[in-house]
Amino acid sequence: MERIIMAHGSGGRLSHQLIKDVFQKHLGNEFLDQMNDATYIKGREKLAMTTDSFVVSPLFFRGGDIGKLAVCGTVNDLAVSGAKPLYLSLGVILEEGFPLSELEKIVLSIKETALQAGVQVVCGDTKVVERGSADKVFINTTGIGVVEDKRVGPSYIKPGDNILINGTIGDHGISILADREGLEFETPITSDCAPLNHLIEEFYHPGVRCMRDPTRGGIGTTLNELAQQAQVSILLEEEKLPLHPSVAGACGMLGLDPIYLANEGKVLVVVSPENTEEVLSLMKSHPLGKNAAIIGKVMAEEPGRVLLETPLGGKRIVGMLEGEHLPRIC
């Protein structure tokens, strides 16, 4: 009998397979089949909707907590889909015995992050389960936004486009790991967890073809999704990937690949060659984009593939994340 394993929740290859073979197979429709970070739905205005559940452990980590994450994750999925995030729902599952003071800290963090992102929590639900039936707190948020005139999505990607990112990769993954394992670094590191909607407003230009937030599964998995959906290949340049020194150090020490580490405040942007410099400099002018870089380009040959060019000029194929290295990262 096949059973669920941790890798089904990794955001990598097995997560994709589970979604396709179980959820999409039985529930697929014109909306769900869009398979984007947020789905465009019908209304008097064009709307986008998304949902996400948060099971991060520990609840409080360097650079954030489950409340901040629950707002950012959903806001970012709307923002990268070209929508202006407006409303959130908040579903909370609490384990019996959880301290009220910690719940209040989480709620205050939700308040502060929602204010920063310019969204409102407009409905919610709370359930309590017996001690041992859940681990402290799980949160689900659903978000609704208005789609303005941004035309973004994998179908707009063309060979010759450049791939940009707004800063260092893997900061969230390594911060969570460091908190779990009690690691300390010479250069302190915090999660990059942040709402990206204002940054995106800052750099958006009609030359932007597609945006994705590389959360679970890292940029490696997200770029594979894009290469497959757009039927193009992507060539990444290893030495151009922005890396915080502590992430580089931790990856070397622990044998982790930063391209598969989770991010919670990063956006991958595919831009037409003519507009790349302009978008890059707009990105860099915002605090959340100061370490932005061009990390690769879109190619026509071998559609569906992601390749990484090493500093010595060798190339290797980058697949989706296999297995689950860091469970409960978000």
Show the tokens assigned to 17.
């397979």
Show the tokens assigned to 238.
């290893």
Q: Which amino acid is at 18?
A: L
Residues of this chain, 72-91, that bind Mg ion according to CB under 5 A:
77
Nearer to Mg ion, 215 or 276 (CB): 215
Give the helix/strand (H/E) hosting 191: none
Nearer to Mg ion, 15 or 246 (CB): 15
Nearer to Mg ion, 17 or 281 (CB): 17
Q: Least Å distance between CB 77 and Mg ion?
A: 5
Nearer to Mg ion, 77 or 161 (CB): 77
Q: Least Å distance between CB 85 and Mg ion?
A: 13
Nearer to Mg ion, 224 or 246 (CB): 224
Q: Which of 223, 295, 216 is nearest to 263 (CA)?
A: 216
Q: Least Å distance between CB 81 and Mg ion?
A: 9
Show the tokens assigned to 37.
């970070």
Q: Is 324 in the site for Mg ion (CB under 5 A)?
A: no
Stretch that binds Mg ion, among 21-29, 107-115, 166-174, 206-214 (CB under 5 A): 206-214
Q: What are phi and psi of 5, to 5 degrees?
A: -120, 170
Q: Is 213 in the site for Mg ion (CB under 5 A)?
A: yes
Nearer to Mg ion, 161 or 213 (CB): 213
Show the tokens assigned to 5.
């394993």
Stretch that binds Mg ion, among 9-17, 29-37, 118-126, 309-317 (CB under 5 A): 29-37
Rounded Cα gap, residues 61 and 191, in angstroms: 8
Residue corresponding to tokens 């890059």: 280
Q: Is 87 exposed, middle or buried (0-12, 13-18, 19+ CB in 10 A)?
A: middle
Stretch that binds Mg ion, among 161-169, 174-182, 193-201, 210-218 (CB under 5 A): 210-218
- Under 8 Å between Cβ of 159 and 226: no
Q: Which of 137, 142, 57 is nearest to 104 (CA)?
A: 137
Rounded Cα gap, residues 235 and 299, in angstroms: 7
Q: Is 238 in the site for Mg ion (CB under 5 A)?
A: no
Q: Is 264 in the site for Mg ion (CB under 5 A)?
A: no
Of the candidates 9, 12, 16, 37, which one interacts with Mg ion according to CB under 5 A? 37
Stretch that binds Mg ion, among 5-13, 30-38, 81-89, 252-260 (CB under 5 A): 30-38
Q: Least Å distance between CB 158 and Mg ion?
A: 22
For every residue of 306-330, DSSP letters joined together read EEEE-TTS-EEE--PPPS-SSSS--
Nearer to Mg ion, 63 or 217 (CB): 217
Q: Is 203 exposed, middle or buried (0-12, 13-18, 19+ CB in 10 A)?
A: buried
Q: Least Å distance between CB 32 and Mg ion?
A: 15
Q: Is 171 in the site for Mg ion (CB under 5 A)?
A: no
Nearer to Mg ion, 37 or 324 (CB): 37
**Residue numbers at the binding site for Mg ion (CB under 5 A):** 37, 77, 213
